Amino acid sequence: MKYIFLLFIFFSNLHSNIPYYLLNKYFQYDKEYLCSNVFNHDFKNKDKFLKRDDFSNFDVLEYDLYLDWSKILEGESNIIQTREFKAIQKIKLTSLVNNLDKIFLDAVELKIDSILVENTKTFAFNHFEKKILEINLDKALNIQDSIEIIIYYTYQKNVNRGFYLYPKGKIPWNDDSVNNLEKLAYTFSQPDDARYWMPCKDEPYDKALSKISVKVPKGFIVASNGLLDSIITLIEDGNEKDVYFWRNSLPISTYLMAVAASKYELYKDYYIRKNNPNDTVKIYNYVWKEDKEIYKDEDGFEFNAEKTFKRTPEILEAYSNLFREYVYEKYGHAVIQPFYFGGMEHQTITFINRIWLTYNSELGVAHEVAHHWIGNLITCQTWQDIWINEGGATWFEALWIYYKTLKETNYDNLAFKEYNKYFTDRAWRYLSKDHLHKKIMNQIPTDQLFSNVDIIYTKASWIYHMLYRRLGDNFIDFMNMLFHKYQYRDISTDNFRKELKEFLKNRNINFDSDKFMYQWVYDSGHPIYYTFLKYINYNNGKYLYRLTLEQVQKMIGLKELFQTDIKINFYKNGIIDTSIIVFNDLVKQDYEVLLNNLVDSLDVDRSFLLCNSWSNIVSVNDKNIKQFNYYSNNDINYININDLEPFTNLKIYDYLGNLRYHFNNQEYVISNIDLNRLDLASGIYFLVITSKNKTEIYKFIR
């Protein structure tokens, strides 16, 4: 045994917590055996590995990981002396098939030092292209047979991927820099980088229990998943070191396992469980001491962790009220930088980018809490199902807005309005990016997931939102059903679809959920409507109109027809007079509409359906769209708006209903619009002028 214990600090019952690798004979690294034969191996079965069939033959029950980060964090805080660290992964797994004689694990660029199978050292392994570890078993396993494999390995990669290490001080970052107040090491794996820092079966669907123990120099604090069992202090080469023992008692996917270590300060908060007021969930926040309260850096940024995390208990309460109770043993945040993302929902220990401490990032905090229902408790089966996680957590952000507005104002209408506004405000993130319009939700390659965030977040959140708008509390009940039925498991897009269909059938709800799913999830695009309203006659106190809906998205190469319900609002003097919901299942369809009043305009309700339209620029009562008197010679260069009555809003739409320019009378005093100064390709455009009492539309050709 390498380690000599001189000093113990007891945080809990120590003896039961000393892990096997600090006490027994297996705590060893075999210097002689370096699997040198591995790299010459004929990798002829590469395709088979890439298909990963062999990974589905077994189920991991538990990871017990030990990381020795004492050397990498040692010494001068502003210098990285080494990035190399030793580690041990103990994996308990069970076979799902008969005659399983090989185990395949992901282990990318890790140096495998030695492997024990059932406590017996084995040389029968290969490390294909230093990516996939094949372990041959002496004795084949049958269904439900379990074994334990212990892998001693060395992390050696000298660039940040999966494992990240930064010194104290200024670090160049994104054409700028960040200033780390302490040396920092952390892991970040989503989607499939866990294999860069630990051997594992790196698939989101395989959940296991986990223990993570990390050795760090005295003064460093380690944050990880689950609860802290204990900290053991030991003396090594005359220096004090702490080993943190974290234990996560609920199943976890590898991409949600995480560690952060720095000279953090821990401050605690708590959430009182809704279903048991005597039970509190600890909230552990790991921040740099200066950031806890207000800290101003030299660039004028003001960091304030307490402010950022203040509403975490309420957010936990909100989701526990709407859905089932929060299931995990704790919650927490570890603040890191530099970081490519804003936040990451590592189970019970969300990592957030330090930049979130400088502004109102409440929705970001809510998003990561939300993942503890949608993403962590039930998890995407493959990365192509990630829309379930991200769309769900983004929808939850709006649910938090609803919940807190209702709590603060007691006005349900206002809360619902704010909830809807969240979606109408964000729809453009998807709608304005036409490169996304042909992408299919569940067919985005794993390495492109996060360059398509407006599909897997924005559009995906709209899928949840549209279902909620159509099914109401039934949809909340449906999600809650999933949170029980699929708890601690994975869920595929197909499971989601089938479960929804079954659920609605059982409740006798007449909604074609399959049609909805096939259009929005299994296919690309969105509808773009041209609408027209024509007044027919007046009879028995009612005004009869003919409403024409036409889907025009085919013009830009999108799927020709969406069959969906659509909500139309009719306006009189700028106020909604009547709203109707019609089902549109033809490319061009007429409806007869009886209204109590004469109306002067209409629009497609953009909070109800993800679509584009230029319905709001269509006038009614047989009043045609006006042609312009152009102020120009031969070329149309100016639109003279001098003669028009004072306007509050002036908008230019293209033929597909995309808003191209928006002028506000308060901001612009203009009499002419100089078309040469606008970036408009040739085509048909509409100028929509809203004045106090009416909206007028002018058509012009560029």
Q: How far is the CB of 394 from Zn ion (least distance, A)?
A: 7
Q: How far is the CB of 357 from Zn ion (least distance, A)?
A: 19
Q: How far is the CB of 404 from Zn ion (least distance, A)?
A: 19
Q: Give the binding range for Zn ion (CB under 5 A) out of 221-229, 276-284, 306-314, 392-400.
A: 392-400
**What is the spatial distance between Cα 568 and Cα 549, in angstroms, rounded to a whole number?**
10
Choose which of 393, 471, 610, 697 interacts with Zn ion (CB under 5 A).
393
Q: How far is the CB of 370 from Zn ion (least distance, A)?
A: 8
Measured from the Cβ of residue 9, the count of other Cβ atoms closer than 10 Å reads: 12
**What is the spatial distance between Cα 412 and Cα 405, in angstroms, rounded to a whole number?**
8
Q: How far is the CB of 341 from Zn ion (least distance, A)?
A: 9
Q: How far is the CB of 286 from Zn ion (least distance, A)?
A: 20
Q: Give the binding range for Zn ion (CB under 5 A) out of 81-89, 385-393, 422-430, 493-501.
A: 385-393
Q: Give the binding range for Zn ion (CB under 5 A) out of 229-237, 244-252, 383-391, 567-575.
A: 383-391
Q: Give the binding range for Zn ion (CB under 5 A) out of 32-40, 261-269, 386-394, 673-681.
A: 386-394
Nearer to Zn ion, 127 or 367 (CB): 367
**232 neighbors 295 (Cβ within 8 angstroms):** no
3-state DSSP of 12-47: CCCHHHCCHHHHCCCCCCCCCCCCHHHHHCCCCCHH
Q: Give the binding range for Zn ion (CB under 5 A) out of 179-187, 268-276, 384-392, 447-455.
A: 384-392
- The token duo for 48 is 């088979």
Find the radius of gyration of the CA atoms of the chain.
30
DSSP state letter for 455: I
Alpha-carbon distance values, 29 to 38, 59, 112, 252 (Å): 18, 27, 9, 28
Nearer to Zn ion, 149 or 388 (CB): 388
Say whether residue 460 binds Zn ion (CB under 5 A): no
Nearer to Zn ion, 291 or 390 (CB): 390
Letter for the amino acid at 114? S
Q: Give the binding range for Zn ion (CB under 5 A) out of 239-247, 303-311, 391-399, 533-541.
A: 391-399
Nearer to Zn ion, 242 or 390 (CB): 390
Q: How far is the CB of 340 from Zn ion (least distance, A)?
A: 13
Nearer to Zn ion, 155 or 486 (CB): 486
Alpha-carbon distance values, 550 to 264, 529, 571, 658 (Å): 59, 6, 20, 16
Nearer to Zn ion, 312 or 616 (CB): 312
Nearer to Zn ion, 196 or 457 (CB): 457
Q: How far is the CB of 371 from Zn ion (least distance, A)?
A: 6
Measured from the Cβ of residue 50, the count of other Cβ atoms closer than 10 Å reads: 10
How would you class 61 by CB atoms within 10 Å of its CB: exposed for 0-12, middle for 13-18, buried for 19 or more?
middle
Nearer to Zn ion, 390 or 490 (CB): 390
Measured from the Cβ of residue 597, the count of other Cβ atoms closer than 10 Å reads: 12
- Residue 524 makes CB contacts below 8 A (sequence gap 6+) with 437, 438, 439, 440, 441, 558, 559
Nearest-CB residue for Zn ion: 393
- The token duo for 679 is 């970036």
Q: How far is the CB of 191 from Zn ion (least distance, A)?
A: 12
> Is the link from the previous residue into 191 a cis peptide, with omega within 30 of 0?
yes
Nearer to Zn ion, 229 or 390 (CB): 390
Backbone angles phi, psi at 137, to 5 degrees: -95, 140
Q: Give the binding range for Zn ion (CB under 5 A) out of 330-338, 382-390, 517-525, 533-541.
A: 382-390
Left (φ > 0), alpha (ψ -120 to 50) or beta: where does 503 sit? Answer: alpha
Q: How far is the CB of 526 from Zn ion (least distance, A)?
A: 22
Nearer to Zn ion, 393 or 558 (CB): 393
Q: Which residues bind Zn ion (CB under 5 A)?
A: 390, 393
